[in-house]
Amino acid sequence: MSALLSLRAVSANLGAVQALEGVSLEIRVGEIAALLGPNGAGKTTLLRAALGLIPAEGEITLGGARPGALSARDRALRAAYLPQRPQSIWPIKVEALVALGRFAHGAAPDRLAASDQAAVDAAIDACALTELRRRRMDEISGGEKARAHLARALAQHAPLLLLDEPTAGLDPAQALAVADIVRGYAASGGGVIFSTHDIALAASVAHRVVVMNSGRIISEGPPEAALTPAALEAAYGCKARLERIGESFAAIFER
């Protein structure tokens, strides 16, 4: 089976800065990959280049097709994208925002077929938004907004889910809930790639961790193989180690 996402020797510039350099990566069905690295490592640029949202050199295929050759609708049928700190700039209800995820399927918030409504309901339930579904986005908390935008991405029912720091600003219980959602998405036959600054979360959730710095991949593999002291020091510039605690992990940093 072809990869849901494939990058081969991909490089990209943001102005005068080379934000990606020779990056190669694949995401397949049922796989969860986590992107780790300091600010400016290239994690967001990688996600945006993968979707064809910024110019890039090298070979990129999304569901077997070049992103630049796809219409917005066809791209949305292949991948759902949750950017950092997504905004809703009008007082839309939570359930209407989630329903926007069905746009690529020919639906709209006021025009939902039974399959669309089922997808919206399932996403709202998965993100624990049932009691908030009729509240306006400008009436709920930041963490609740983040869950609503995640539900919109889930409702899209794309084979690939790309999440840019999906747990930023969430409390620990909400972050664990997002981890469960990501696991469920992959277990149901999807693929997930997400960026995060939470090393322990990445190690606990991802099948594969990709450690980046200065636009390059410096380590990649299963969490305990990729997150070596050498890789962590190369990425973050300080001594660190990954420790397993039962079924979870902790990242220990030293000055």
- Whether pTM > 0.75 for this model: the answer is yes
Task: Give residue 21's pLDDT.
Answer: 96
Q: How many CB atoms lie within 10 A of CB 16?
A: 5
Instruction: Work out the average pLDDT over 102-118.
Output: 89
Judged by average pLDDT, the poorest of 1-5, 68-72, 112-116, 146-150 is: 1-5
**Tens of pLDDT along 122-140?**
999 999 999 999 999 999 9
Judged by average pLDDT, the poorest of 40-49, 51-60, 88-97, 160-169 is: 88-97
pLDDT band at 40 (very low <50, low <70, confident <90, very high): very high
Whether 69 and 151 have beta carbons less than 8 Å apart is answered as no
Whether 85 and 168 have beta carbons less than 8 Å apart is answered as yes
- d(Cα 46, Cα 25) in Å, to the nearest integer? 10
How far from 12 is each of 21, 52, 94, 184, CA to CA, in Å?
7, 11, 36, 32
Q: What is the phi/psi pair of residue 155, to 5°?
A: -65, -20
Instruction: Work out the average pLDDT over 110-119.
Output: 91
Beta bridge partners of 195: 35, 164
Residue for token pair 């049928």: 77
- d(Cα 12, Cα 144) in Å, to the nearest integer? 34
Task: Give residue 90's pLDDT.
Answer: 76
Task: Give residue 89's pLDDT.
Answer: 65
Q: In the chain, which residue ranges form alpha helices assigned H by DSSP?
A: 43-50, 72-78, 94-99, 114-126, 142-155, 172-187, 199-205, 223-226, 229-236
**Tens of pLDDT along 216-232?**
999 999 999 999 999 99
Identify which has the larger pLDDT, 185 or 110. 185
String of DSSP letters for 118-154: HHHHHHHHHTT-GGGTTSBGGGS-HHHHHHHHHHHHH
Show the tokens assigned to 149: 């935008």
**Tens of pLDDT along 156-203?**
999 999 999 999 888 899 899 999 999 999 999 999 999 999 999 999
Task: Give residue 1's pLDDT.
Answer: 54
Whether 227 and 203 have beta carbons less than 8 Å apart is answered as yes
Show the tokens assigned to 15: 């102005």
What is the maximum alpha-carbon separation in the chain?
56
Instruction: Work out the average pLDDT over 68-83.
Output: 94
Instruction: Work out the average pLDDT over 144-154.
Output: 94
- d(Cα 103, Cα 97) in Å, to the nearest integer? 11
